[in-house]
Structure 1
C-alpha cells in the first residue's frame, strides 16, 4: 500500500513539473510573438548588463567564455522592460540588442562600458555615467542607472529561485517578463495559451 502511494506521489510530482515546463514554453512563445520596442520619442531608457550564470574551471577560476550576461533595459516613464541573454559584451552584440529593443528617439542612459559608444549616431540621444566616479552625474541628476539597478534586485533573485539549468534560462526570463507585464498570473496564462493557439 505504501509503495503504491509513493508511486502515485512520484507520478503526481512528475506531472506537475511537466505542466510547469509546458506553461514556461507557452510564456516564452507569447513574449517572443508580442515583442515590442521599449520607450518612445522623448522617453528615457536605462540599459545595463549583469552576470547571470558562471561556471568555474581549473581550481575555481572562472573563464570569460563561461559567463552568461543578461542585458536589460527599463523605460523610466512607462516601466516597460526588455531582457536579452548575451555571451560577449562587444559593441556589435550590445548595440544590436539596443536597436532591436529600444524605439528610436529615446534618450538612453548607460554606464561607461565602451561597447555603448556610438549609440548617439544610431537614432538615440546617449548619456553615460562613469560608475568609478559617480553613480549619479553631479552636473545632471537625471543621468544615472539606478532604475535598471533596482530591476536587477528583482530579476536576479527570481532567476536564482528557479535553479541553475542553463537550458531553461531563457524560459525563466520570459516567465519573469510576462508576470511583470501582466501581474494577474491566472489570466496571464489563459491569455498566453489562447494567443499561442491562435498564432499557430
Structure 2
C-alpha cells in the first residue's frame, strides 16, 4: 500500500505493506502492517506467525509469493517446510479470478478497500506510526463486538484481544 501525493507534489510517504487474510469459514480476518520491507523472508515470517499449519493460502502473484516457476510457491518453500500449506494464486495482470482453480483475493481486498480505507478517510488519515495500533483496534472491534455485545462480553472481548495480541 502506498499513500500517493496528488500531482507529484507534497510530502513523500514511506511505503507500508498490509499483510492480511480472511478465514473464509468464520469470516474473521487479520492484518499486520510492516514498513518498507516486502521481501520473501519477511513474508514467510509473517505466514509462520499468523497462519495455522495446514491452511490453504490464496494470494495474488506477488514476487514474494510466487516465482516465475509455478512449482516454486509458498506451499513448497523450504523455509515453510513441515507447515503443510497449500497455495493458489491469481495473476491480476491476466485475471481477477484464476480460471484454473477459482482462486481470488477479492474478499481480503474488499475488507481493506471498503472497511479500513473508508474508516481511515473518515478520520482524515492516520499517522504512519499509529497504523498498527489503529489496525489492532479495528480488528478487535470487528472480532469481538460485531454482534452488539454488551457488559461482560465487552470485557471478555478485551481480554481475548489482549491475549491474542500479546500471548498468554
Question: Does residue 191 of the first structure (1) align with residue 156 of the second (2)?
Answer: yes
Which residue of 1 is the match for residue 74 of structure 2? 119
Contact 1:106 1:124 in 2 (8 A): yes
CA distance in 2, matches of 1:55, 1:86: 20
RMSD in angstroms over aligned alpha carbons? 2.8
CA pair 62-194 structure 1, distance change in 2 beyond 3 A: closer
Q: Relative contact order, CA 8 A, sep 6+: which one is greater?
A: 1
Counterpart Cα distance in 1 of 2:126 and 2:107: 26
Higher radius of gyration, 1 or 2 = 1
Q: Which has the higher strand share?
A: 1
Q: 1:54 to 1:77 in 2, by over 3 A?
A: same
Residues 193, 178 of structure 1: alpha-carbon distance in 2 compared, 3 angstrom cutoff: closer
Aligned residue runs from structure 1 range 1-200, under 5 A? 51=1, 53=3, 59-60=9-10, 62=12, 66-87=14-35, 88-117=37-66, 118-121=73-76, 122=80, 123-141=84-102, 143-152=103-112, 153-162=114-123, 163-182=125-144, 183=146, 184=148, 186-187=150-151, 189-191=154-156
Gaps of 5+ in 2: 67-72
Say how many residue pairs are matched. Answer: 144
Partners in 1 of 2:51 and 2:159 — Cα distance?
Answer: 27
SS at match of 2:47: helix
CA gap of 1:194–1:137, structure 2 versus 1, over 3 A, is closer
CA apart distance, 1:173: 0.6
Between structures 1 and 2, the one with greater helix share: 1
